[in-house]
Amino acid sequence: MKKGLFFTLTLLLSASEPPRVCARGPMARSQMPQLTVSGESTFNVWWFHNQNIKNSNDNDFGQGSFLNENQIPSLAATLTSSSLSGDTQNEYGRGYIFTMDDSRLKFDLSGVSDYGTDYGLVVNIDTNTEQTFGDKTIKETYVWIDGVWGCLTLGNTNGVEEFMAFGGYDPLGGTGGFDGNFDRVVNLVTGTVTSVGIVEGTDKSTKVIYQTPRFYGFQGGLSFAPQYGHLGENKIQSTKDYSWNGDLQPFDRRSTSLALNYMNDWKNGLSLGASLTAVFAKTLPGFSGSQWFIVDQNNTVIVRGAGNRKNTAGYAMGTSMHYKDFQFGVEFGDNGKSHEVKDLKVQTGQETNAGCFMDTGIAYHFGPTKLSFGYMYTKRKAIHLNVNNTFGKAQNRTHILSIDLDHKLAPGAGVYFEYVHLDMKNEGFNVDAMINNTRVTQFAAKGWESKRKT
């Protein structure tokens, strides 16, 4: 079990457009394209405290096990081990830090054709000064066209499962509470569900998006990405994870997301939004020939199998209501068995799933100030390795509570205070850590690459 809490005091500067909704609004016919520049950035002061609470059966064995290059795990083989453990690998304990979060600039070039159809190009630039291997300076780039027939978006941007959804995160202020930036200073427990997203969704993978016109408050949407993680002009990699940074992860092909939402405003001041979203995809292992293994306390392989994963299939439904000075949101999502190892039940006798989640949020506005509360609960079916090398069911649960106070200083500028408490527990964290052991994927990937080149 891991508990974490943090406070943050922030200065927020932003000038961003509302969520993307068809249609774009009236424009003069045959208008030349116009460039709009917007952006946002926040300066955060974090105070944080992470605490590990280890149960008597939460052994660290297996977390430091790894294969030598090109080695294939076999039953009864004794693997090399490092000194890794859950206690020694903490990056954050107790302290404070300054950060510049969510810093970006957005360029939107839009115009209208002779036929009254809106069109445009959007480029979203990440201005984060921290640059690592996986960072992308260009976070989004896409073209769009909008008419009476609907809206078509082409390029690298989020899918309909994200920007057409409503949920408990909508009323929240600060960084977003349980959907915010707590991962900056909190170590997440392996195998726990901490995201309101449906598995991976389609993220910003290169895709096609279509949204229908809104009819009596209803609107439908469809996103399709040939492969998760593909960005820009990247070459095709149909047998390997695109986002490789030494840790190959399962990835999706033919990622399809669907959305149906409803929006309406009544004269009595009540506004309502409701949504149903789903994601489906063919899931592949991080690389061809991927394998997994589980070792005992002596670092001996007791169970092994292929790295094939179950296909992605998940859904979420949510709503957000606004009445006078009050706002409320709630969402339920189920990831099903997405990305779970196919032969794990055959080898261990226990079954796992990708977990489900429920998030709620409520806010009260008084003048330029907003007070919001959020709560998220998740659970997942995992497995635990006992000291006698038998397997049992593991309890995997997460509770996240957040409180946010926002105050608007001027148009586009404000300050906020946020408190978040996390309680994450996974009795089978050592099994999850072994199945997703980065050393296995790294060494095996090197061997796969060398064979491929010959």
DSSP 97: E
Predicted local distance difference test score (pLDDT) of residue 22: 54
Predicted local distance difference test score (pLDDT) of residue 56: 47
Number of helical (H) and strand (E) elements in the chain, helices listed first: 4, 20
Contact 38, 106 (CB under 8 A): yes
Q: How far is CA 426 from CA 51, 187, 431, in A?
A: 14, 13, 10
- The number of domains in the chain is 1
Using CA atoms, how far apart are residues 168 and 187, in angstroms rounded to an integer?
23
Predicted local distance difference test score (pLDDT) of residue 305: 86
Contact 231, 242 (CB under 8 A): yes
Contact 118, 24 (CB under 8 A): yes
Contact 78, 300 (CB under 8 A): yes
pTM (whole model) above 0.85: yes
Residue closest to 191 by CA, chosen among 16, 422, 383: 383
3-class secondary-structure state, position 412: coil
Q: For residue 25, give every residue at least 6 positions away whose Cβ sits within 8 Å of its Cβ, in sequence order, or none.
A: none
Q: Is the peptide bond before 23 cis (omega within 30 degrees of 0)?
A: yes
Structural domain including 370 reads 2-453
- The residues facing 241 across adjacent strands are none
Predicted local distance difference test score (pLDDT) of residue 406: 94
Predicted local distance difference test score (pLDDT) of residue 75: 83
- The residues facing 11 across adjacent strands are 43, 415
Contact 64, 28 (CB under 8 A): no
> Could you please report the per-residue DSSP string of 20-46?
P-S------TTPPPEEEEEEEEEEEEE
The secondary structure element, H or E, covering residue 312 is strand 312-323
- In the numeric block, which tokens belong to residue 202? 């389609």
Predicted local distance difference test score (pLDDT) of residue 86: 43
> Could you please report the per-residue DSSP string of 164-187?
T---TTTT--TT-GGGSSGGGT-P
Using CA atoms, how far apart are residues 293 and 443, in angstroms rounded to an integer?
14
Using CA atoms, how far apart are residues 250 and 152, in angstroms rounded to an integer?
29
Predicted local distance difference test score (pLDDT) of residue 453: 39
3-class secondary-structure state, position 326: strand
Phi/psi at 184 (5° precision): -65, -35
The secondary structure element, H or E, covering residue 435 is helix 429-435
Predicted local distance difference test score (pLDDT) of residue 443: 56
Using CA atoms, how far apart are residues 111 and 116, in angstroms rounded to an integer?
10
pLDDT in tens, the chain (454 residues): 665 555 555 555 655 444 454 544 444 455 678 899 999 999 999 988 887 766 544 556 666 666 665 566 778 777 776 654 444 445 667 788 898 988 999 999 999 988 778 999 999 999 888 766 556 788 899 999 999 999 999 999 999 999 999 999 999 999 999 999 988 888 888 889 999 988 878 899 999 999 999 999 999 999 999 999 899 998 888 888 876 555 678 899 999 999 999 999 998 889 999 999 999 999 998 887 788 888 888 888 888 888 899 999 999 999 999 999 999 999 999 999 999 999 999 999 999 999 999 999 999 999 999 999 999 999 999 998 887 888 999 889 999 999 999 999 988 889 999 999 999 998 888 888 888 765 555 555 555 444 443 3
Residue closest to 248 by CA, chosen among 8, 69, 39, 441: 441
Dihedral-angle region of residue 355 (phi above 0 means left; psi in -120 to 50 means alpha; beta otherwise): left
